[in-house]
Chains A and B, each alone.
Chain A
């Protein structure tokens, strides 16, 4: 049973517009969330994270929003650029230290010129 769900396998956005990637989770013990970006033939690379004590974290063009009551988080990219085309994974920790991450299946973001 998927504890972290990314329901959109792919998303197409025009260059310069906002990209919004969504993620839902079911485990209320998760207390730290991360977004990873993956290019073909490479490993995932860390993008941005948020603790459950916050509802927003911003880093340049990337902002992650967390709605704990809805068990939902989203990644906003604005403005979207061609280099943002990649697979984005949502991941979560249940806390207590450096346990393994629980990943969603990923959303393939395609930025159209």
Chain B
């Protein structure tokens, strides 16, 4: 398997523009997670899905952020309108899920570095 795939790898946009980040999880993984990494706050969980259904979005910073998972192989994280403070690296991760300890291991994509000017 190619692992978790994210696109684009880098995104530079102007304040006020809409930004869409994309993720393809590992085939067969039931859980998908979106994280954000900043210098100040480190790695933070934004939202996660189980079988395409959003389970916990309490980490989404505000209404400007939204995430969807229309099918098992694709998810998007959208920011509209974008602001300079949204500049960060956004990671997508997936896991098998279930009750075995091994299922807790999450596999991360390479991340999308977002810069909002």
The interface of chain A, by Cβ under 8 A from chain B, is 32, 34, 36, 41-46, 49, 51, 89, 93, 97-106
Q: Say yes or no: A98 contacts B110, CB within 8 Å.
A: no
Besides A89-B43, A98-B30, 20 new A-B residue pairs in contact (Cβ under 8 A), listed by A number: A34-B104, A42-B110, A43-B110, A44-B43, A44-B108, A49-B101, A51-B101, A89-B42, A97-B97, A98-B97, A98-B98, A99-B56, A100-B45, A102-B45, A103-B35, A103-B42, A103-B43, A104-B42, A105-B42, A106-B43
Let me know if B109 is at the binding interface, CB within 8 A: yes
- Collect the chain A residues with CB atoms within 8 Å of residue B93's CB: 43
Q: Say yes or no: B4 contacts A100, CB within 8 Å.
A: no
- Collect the chain A residues with CB atoms within 8 Å of residue B109's CB: 43
**Interface range for B:** 20 to 34
